[in-house]
A and B are shown apart, each in its own frame.
Chain A
Amino acid sequence: MRRFIVKRLLLAVVTLLGVSLIVFVAARLTGDPVLLFAPTTATEQQLDELRAKMGLDKPIPVQFLIFLRDAARGDFGISLRYSQPAMTLALKRLGPTLELAAYAFILGLLGGVLLGITSATRPGSLRERAGTTFAMLGLSVPGFWLAVILMLVFAVKLHWFPTSGREGALSRILPTISVAWVAVAQIMRVTRSAMLEVLGSDYIKMARIKGLRERVVIWKHALRNALVPVLGIAGFLVAMLIGGLALVESVFRWPGIGSLLIEAVFARDFPLVQAGVLLVSAVVIFINLAVDLLYGIVDPRIRYE
């Protein structure tokens, strides 16, 4: 077990380094990166100072090391738009995004597992067909579009919910539904196929032969093992939810990191974009790590791969 944890930790560190490299390379793609980090009003002398400070006169590998050193200190430079340290700004907006992601994950888990089980245990029924059709629809309807339509119908037309902002419980509902939608579909697909596999296994037959009630067989014995693959895609789901949130946040003007990043791209505020992308990726990597460790505990079989 310890070897597995150490290996997994190392992998997370390597992945984080890789993401840093991508973020670093992105800035170098433009030719003269100093222009990305300086306000447009900067004089030639200021540009030179910044160049020296960022070490842009040194060879590229050294530049990357400097970037890593600064990143480790949380120093991504000063946001051009807000004139504040970029990482501080990004951290401030992370909370609201994670809040919505958590709601969406819970909703997706409840809805997805419920739909997955009903469609797996009643083969050929209307419910099964409805479930699979819903899953297909869930994968085909873009979250941002759903957000727009929900807003037009329930906020603009019916006035049930606020159109934007982050005040009160009601303001959480529409954005959560817009992103949870895809999660429901994904979790439903995974639960369904895992459930079908588990229901065919010997221990379930045994439970039935013992005369256990069908409800107990499904919800206690089968579900427990059917949930393992759901845990397996949890990391991927979180990345997907946070990505989807970027668009949904912009529709509902939710003060999360997604809308911050979009504003930053429009303002060509590159330090802020770098800090935000790296921060979100670090969160995703951390959650993936946690999920994998949990996975190792829940399902001892994978430890010795």
Chain B
Amino acid sequence: MMVRIFGRKSYGLAAADLPDLAALKRAARRRRQRVPVGAIILLGPLVIFGLFGPWIAPHDIMVVDSANALRPPAWMEGGSWSYLLGTDKFGRDLLSVLMVGARTSLIVCVVGVLFAGIIGVVLGLLAGYFGKWIDNLIMRIVDVVMSIPGILFMLLLAAALGPGIKTIIISMGLLMWCGYTRVMRGEVLSIKQRDFVAMAKVMGIGQSRILIRHILPSVGSTVIVMATLQAGGAIMMEGGLSFLGLGVQPPYTTWGRIIAENRNVMTTAWWVPVFAGLLLIMAIWGFNVLGDWLRDVMDPKMRRR
């Protein structure tokens, strides 16, 4: 109403006074939402196939049957309902290959994120709590690692150690810890000013005990949120590296590797990159949605960063 006096449209001031009302409302709704339905649906295939893939796969993927190669999906001409999503160039049932491949993707992602998380949290705690030269040293290392584009770092390690599942996990661990360290350091810097830490110090509790028993639990929710958001990135990186053929090596397979194996036939067999890619996107998207939901539920103050 007030704005009318100046003869201008009224939405201007209202928008300024209540920034992003819709997003706040959505966040509030999400907080009330007990179960993250979207995330569960998106992550369903990764988790279910990852855990049970080899048992629920309708076909054996170790059998190479060239007579069956490059069958289109069931609903297309030449397709068969026995091969729902068609077959790849080796004549393997695409759905079965995708189901089995989910396991390696899931393992790489979980182990990689854990590895990075442990390094990152420990270094972040040290940097934030002790400050001074320790902080300086650790943050300089962060700068260094951040200035090498991730995929190039992975290529460097693949060249040095040879490609394989171990190399991916090691390079993920050595790459992705930076994010945790930065956030952890900031959190610790503010937490260590708080009274309960001062109290613990006054009571003569040792530094390692203060770090582990008093500071670490206060940053736990942040770590979980970050790990979830990073899991999507891990899936994407593994997919990219395997797509190049420099990721996991046979007999293991992952969604990225399935696309890679069929790269030379993909002009006809479009269904391989499409379905494998859709699963990849669902998993990454699912982790992003889950991370946002966790952030709203566990750590409302992180929402507006």
Contact = CB atoms under 8 A, between A and B. Distances in A.
B34 interface: no
Contact of A18 (B19, B140, B245, B273): B140
B22 interface: yes
A204 B16 CA distance: 8
B150 interface: yes
Interface string A81-118: 00000000000000000000000000000000000000
B274 A149 contact: yes
Interface in B11-45: 12-13, 15-23
Contact of A281 (B152, B284, B305): B152
A183 interface: no
Contacts of A148: 259, 266, 273, 277
Chain A facing B: main interface SS: helix
B169 to A, nearest CB: 15
Contact of B143 (A18, A139, A208, A266): A18
A31 to B, nearest CB: 10
Given A136-B289, A246-B151, A197 B19 contact: yes
A239 interface: yes
A246 B232 contact: no
Contacts, number: 183
B285 A123 contact: no
A168 interface: no
Interface stretch (A52-60, A61-69, A268-276): A268-276
Contacts of A22: 144-145, 148, 153, 156
Contacts of A236: 146
Interface in B156-191: 156-161, 163
Contacts of A124: 21-22
Interface string B224-261: 00000000100010011001111000000000000100
A196 B19 contact: yes
B149 A239 contact: yes
Nearest to B21: A123
B41 to A, nearest CB: 14
Contacts of A140: 232, 281, 284-285, 288
Interface string A156-167: 100000000000
A145 B288 contact: no
Contacts of A243: 149-152
Contact of B148 (A120, A121, A136, A281): A281
Nearest to B287: A140
Interface size range of chain B in the complex: 35 or more
B6 interface: yes
A136 B42 CA distance: 13
Interface string A200-220: 100011001101011001000
Contacts of A234: none
B149 A284 contact: yes
Interface residues of A, number: 73
A120 B9 CA distance: 17
A27 B160 CA distance: 6
A297 interface: no
B143 A214 contact: no
A126 B145 CA distance: 40
Contacts of B280: 142, 145
A19 B21 contact: no
B206 interface: no
A220 to B, nearest CB: 14
A14 interface: yes
B8 interface: yes
B304 interface: yes
A298 interface: no
B147 interface: yes
B13 A123 contact: no
A120 B280 CA distance: 30
A283 to B, nearest CB: 10
Contacts of B8: 208, 211, 213-214
A15 interface: yes
B270 A152 contact: yes
A248 B243 CA distance: 11
A156 B267 contact: yes
A223 interface: no
Interface in B262-305: 266-267, 270, 273-274, 277, 280-281, 284-285, 288-289, 304-305
Interface of A: 11, 14-15, 18-19, 21-23, 26-27, 29-30, 36, 120-121, 123-124, 128-129, 132, 136-137, 139-145, 148-149, 152, 156, 193, 196-197, 199-200, 204-205, 208-209, 211, 213-214, 217, 236, 239-240, 242-244, 246-247, 250, 258, 261-262, 264-266, 268-270, 273-274, 276-277, 280-281, 284-285, 288
29 contacts: A15-B140, A15-B144, A19-B147, A22-B145, A22-B156, A26-B156, A26-B157, A27-B160, A30-B160, A30-B161, A123-B15, A123-B18, A123-B19, A124-B22, A140-B285, A144-B239, A208-B3, A208-B8, A209-B6, A214-B8, A214-B12, A246-B151, A247-B243, A247-B244, A261-B152, A266-B245, A277-B152, A280-B148, A281-B148
